[in-house]
Amino acid sequence: MKKRIINRLPGQGAAAVLGLLPFLLLLLAYAWGSQVRLEANPEDKLLPALSSLAAAVERVALEPNRRTGELQLWADTAASLQRLGIGLAVASLLALVTGLATGMVPYVRAALAPFVRVLSMVPPMAILPILFIVFGLGELSKVVLVVLGIAPCMMRDLQQRVMELPSEQLVKAQTLGAHSGHILWRVVMPQTLPRLIDSLRLNLGPAFLFLIAAEAIAAESGLGYRIFLVRRYLAMDTILPYVVWITLLAFLMDIALRGVSRWAFPWFHQGKERA
Amino acid sequence: MAALLEVKQVWKEYGNSIVLEKLNLSVKEGEFCTIVGTSGCGKTTFLRMLLGEEGPTRGSLLLDGKPMPAEPGPDRGIVFQRYSVFPHMSVLDNVTFGLEVTRSPLLGRLFGAARRKARDEAAAMLAQVGLSHALDRYPSELSGGMQQRLAIAQALIKKPRILLLDEPFGALDPGIRADMHALVLRLWQESGLTIFMITHDLKEGFKLGTRLLVFDKPRLDAQAPNRYGATITYDLVIGRQEPALLEEIQGAVTETSRFNDQQ
């Protein structure tokens, strides 16, 4: 008896193998391409051999930089993560406050929702020069770019999530004698927090995008700075590990946020499987 | 005894469509009114007016001789068919919440001895609806019947004067439904509440409570289906009626239902 393809489910082991397969294929394709190119021209810089990638990783991660004396990869990572962390925290706080206010209070919604909607349409990269002029070339302008890049979308998302709460709950709370503050503090906000984490997870990618962009243009440290610096020497052996490292960081942050959400808001995850 | 709820010549219209017309009703404290009727016959609109979510377009709606407040309040408790309970609170917290918001006007949270006392009261209320074994669970871990028991306990802890039930047992299995009927009747007899219960099920309406209100459209116009609203077509004392009357009402209501279905 053959089932339709849409009804056939992989087992746990098969799913794990299938999940790893694209990564392995990519690695093999790279190794093969690299070998072919290096055979034709040993000086080729575009696809360095896996061994030279490993050597580069060892150099940037374990040996002090000759100019600054720092362990370059870790110094860059710390600088970038600090900017990103502050940006994400500020954006989350703004999104939470605005989302709750516009989602719950019709007067605030009338006043702010159209503005936020327009704000979210401003391409953040287009105002980057303004940010550099206004906030200087230091840390602030990079953090501001991350915040401006993701906060408006998160605000809109959170407003939507707040408004999606069943109105029955709000009526129920009122029949229990709650005033607006109680409803905000005890009914709406606790239910908004896991949705804020969801929103943050979805915005990790864009946040990294804006961070790297800001660092590429003006910075003295950071993952994006390094990639765009060594680009001049076509140093693929540094760029590729950095890209993998940034991807890994974003992936780990996503997993960590999901873990926090499951631990802190078990009721939110019961009965539904989320990736 | 003066009427608790007085409805005088109430009309409810949305634009050109008339939902309720010429509604007159007087309900005394302690009555248990079941409201039946097909979908679209203004039952839920009437309930929303009792909650204060909507006002009448014309006529007056008096609670204790005073106009109905324009928003929900603690004197009128509600149990909806779904979404009545707070998914992020445990069973015990769901019930304690009602006590906390009154006793802690600023934060809505109690601490120390006051908190323990409120939780004890809530636990006692939950024992009455048979949920003592589930105090620490979240609503999503409860069956449909248990969730509705929780919603009832949550409403009753506030000792409301009126309890509104909006098809509270519509989604439950028949066996569970019978248990819930017994529970509601017992709580009603013990507390002396006034209850309004909406139901789709005419038999349920005939069985429960003291008074049956049938919402139906007396006039059906195929050319202008929204020109005429629904009103109370039968207002009966329960327990003293002939089975033939049940058939008659069933016939009238079904006719409206088919009519609505074809519009």
pLDDT in tens, B148-168: 999 999 999 998 999 999 988
User: Which residues of chain B are within 8 Å of residue A106 when distances are taken between CB atoms?
Assistant: none
Contact flag B140-A271 (C-beta cutoff 8 Å): yes
As a whole number, mean pLDDT of residues A124-140 equals 90
Q: Could you tell me the fold of the domain covering A60-269?
A: MetI-like fold (1.10.3720)
pLDDT confidence bin for B216, thresholds 50/70/90 = confident
Tokens of A259: 């873990």
CA dihedral A143, A145, A146, A147 (to 10 degrees): 90
Specify the residue for token string 């539904």. Answer: A272
| Cross-strand pairs, B67 | B62
Query: Which is it for the CA torsion B135, B136, B138, B142, positive or negative?
Result: negative
The confidence score (pLDDT) of residue A275 equals 39
Contacts of A171 in chain B (CB under 8 A): 51, 53, 72, 78, 80
In whole angstroms, what is the distance from residue B100 CA to residue B91 CA? Answer: 14
Q: Which residues face B13 on adjacent strands? A: B18
Of A177, A191, A267, nearest to B98 by CB-CB distance is: A177
Per-residue model confidence (pLDDT) at position A154: 96
CB spacing of B83 vs A186 below 8 angstroms: no
Give the gap in angstroms from C-alpha B262 to the nearest C-alpha of chain A. Answer: 30
Three-class SS state of B111? coil
**pLDDT at residue B249 above 90?**
no
DSSP state of B161: S
Torsion of CA B40, B42, B44, B50, to 10 degrees: 170
Decide: A119 and A177 in contact? Cβ < 8 Å.
Answer: no
In chain A, the largest separation of any two C-alpha atoms, in whole Å, equals 79
Q: What are the backbone dihedrals phi and psi of residue B160, each rounded to the nearest 5 degrees, phi first?
A: -70, 160
Which pLDDT value is given to residue A198?
95
* pLDDT for the residue A273: 47
Measured between CA atoms, how close is A136 to chain B, in angstroms? 42
End-to-end Cα separation, chain B, in angstroms: 44
With a cut of 70, say whether residue B98 has pLDDT above it.
yes
CATH superfamily of B5-75+160-262: P-loop containing nucleotide triphosphate hydrolases (3.40.50.300)
Q: Which of A19-33, A50-64, A229-243, B199-213 has the highest mean pLDDT?
A: A19-33
- Residue ranges of E strands in chain B: 5-14, 17-27, 32-36, 58-63, 66-67, 76-79, 162-166, 194-199, 211-216, 231-237
- Is there a contact between B101 and A265 if contact means CB atoms under 8 Å apart? no
Contacts of B70 in chain A (CB under 8 A): none
What is the per-residue pLDDT for B261? 72
User: What's the whole-number average pLDDT of chain A?
Assistant: 92
- Position B240 scores a pLDDT of 56
- Cβ contact A92:A202 at 8 Å: no
- Is the pLDDT score of A183 beyond 70? yes
DSSP one-letter string for B218-236: S---TT-TTTS-BEEEEEE
Please state the domain extents for chain A: 60-269
Q: What is the pLDDT of residue B263?
A: 65
Quick one: pLDDT at residue A272? Answer: 61
Interface test with chain A among B85, B93, B100, B101, by most A beta carbons within 10 Å = B101
| Residues B53/B59/B64/B68 CA torsion (nearest 10 deg) | 20
For B22-45, the pLDDT digits (tens) are 888 888 888 899 998 887 788 888
Judged by DSSP in three states, B6 sits in: strand
Beta strands in B15-96, from DSSP E residues, in sequence order: 17-27, 32-36, 58-63, 66-67, 76-79
Query: For the sheet containing B32-36, what is the strand order?
Result: B76-79, B162-166, B194-199, B32-36, B211-216, B231-237
User: pLDDT tens digits, residue range B7-21?
Assistant: 888 888 888 888 888
Kindly state the tokens that stand for B181.
Answer: 């009927």
The domain limits of chain B are 5-75+160-262, 88-159
Q: What's the ipTM?
A: 0.88
A85/A139 Cα distance (integer angstroms) = 12
**Of A172, A186, A192, which to mutate for an interface test with B (greatest number of B Cβ within 10 Å)?**
A172
- Structure-token pair, residue A230: 């060594």
Cα–Cα distance, B120 to A205 (Å, whole number): 48
Stretch 187-206 of chain A: residues touching chain B, C-beta under 8 Å: 187, 190-191
Residue A168 to residue A182: CA distance in whole angstroms: 16
- The DSSP H or E segment spanning A4 is none
Q: Tell if the CB–CB gap between B74 and A176 is shorter than 8 Å.
A: yes
Residues of chain B positioned with their CB less than 8 A from the CB of A177: 73-74, 98, 101-102, 158
Using the beta-carbon criterion (under 8 Å), do A166 and B82 form an inter-chain contact? yes
The mean of the pLDDT values for chain B is: 86
Of B108, B141, B151, the CB nearest to A186: B108
Residue B249 Cα, gap to closest chain A Cα (Å): 31
Burial classification of residue B98, based on how many CB atoms lie within 10 Å of its CB (0-12 exposed, 13-18 middle, 19 or more buried): buried
Residue with tokens 């949705």, as numbered in its chain:
A195
Q: Is the pLDDT of residue B1 over 60?
A: no
Tokens 């100019």, located at residue: A67
The full DSSP string for A148-199 is: HHHHHHHHHHHHHHHHHS-HHHHHHHHHTT--HHHIIIIIIHHHHHHHHHHH
Q: What does the pLDDT look like over A9-18, one tens digit per residue?
A: 999 999 999 9
CB contact under 8 A, B83 and A169: yes
**b/e map B162-197, b = 16+ CB within 10 Å:** bbbbbbbbbebeeebbeebeebbeebbeeeebbbbb
Higher pLDDT, residue A229 or B241: A229
Over range B80-85, report the average pLDDT. Answer: 88
Interatomic CA distance for residues B236 and A178, integer angstroms: 36
pLDDT tens digits, A63-90: 888 777 888 899 999 999 999 999 999 9
Picking from B51, B86, B140, the nearest residue to A171 by CB comes out as: B51
* Over residues B208-220, mean pLDDT: 83
Interface size A-B, in CB pairs within 8 Å, comes to 85
Task: State residue B162 phi and psi, 5-degree precision.
Answer: -125, 135
| Of residues B78, B101, B138, nearest to A178 (C-beta) | B101
Give the gap in angstroms from C-alpha A256 to the nearest C-alpha of chain B. Answer: 21
Q: Do B97 and A176 touch (CB under 8 A)?
A: yes
Across the interface, whether the CB atoms of B88 and A171 are under 8 A apart is answered no
Cβ of B141 and A185 within 8 Å?
Answer: no
Return the residue of B nearest to A170 by Cα: B84
- Under an 8 A CB cutoff, do B97 and A172 touch? no
What pLDDT, on the 0 to 100 scale, is given for residue A274? 42
Contact check, Cβ <8 Å, A175/B158: yes
Q: Write the CB contacts of B187 (distance below 8 Å, at least 6 apart in sequence).
A: B128, B129, B152, B156, B193
Assess A11–B contact: CB distance below 8 Å, yes or no.
Answer: no
- pLDDT tens, position by position, A230-239: 898 888 999 9
pLDDT tens string B100-128? 999 988 888 889 899 999 999 999 999 98
This prediction has a pTM of 0.87
